[in-house]
Structure 1
Amino acid sequence: MTWCPYFLARYTITNAHIVVYSYHYLLDPKIAEVVSKELTKTSVVVFDEAHNI
């Protein structure tokens, strides 16, 4: 069975303790609606490269 990388990543996020990805995925409303919706309200987000925000 071959896994689709997109759906594998979405599944993995729900079970991960730490997720590292570009801040664009969290701050761009169009992308965040799809990619970041699995993050909970208790998630901690650390921005590297925050000077670019």
Structure 2
Amino acid sequence: VAEGKSSAEIAGIIFLSPKTVETYRSRLMQKLGVNDIPALVKFAIRYGLTQL
């Protein structure tokens, strides 16, 4: 996500359907209380879950 990959690209890498990736992303964002992808990336960086 932080690298700008689409759901289809992510799905191909981790062998899931693009719809599954979108569902996981949506549910994760809902649980974390973030409203968009940039906020999700910011959250991940802030808590050391990813690096740019």
For normalisation by structure 1, the TM-score amounts to 0.28
Q: Comparing both structures, which one devotes a greater share of its residues to helix?
A: 2
For normalisation by structure 2, the TM-score amounts to 0.28
Report which of the two structures shows the higher radius of gyration computed on alpha carbons. Answer: 1
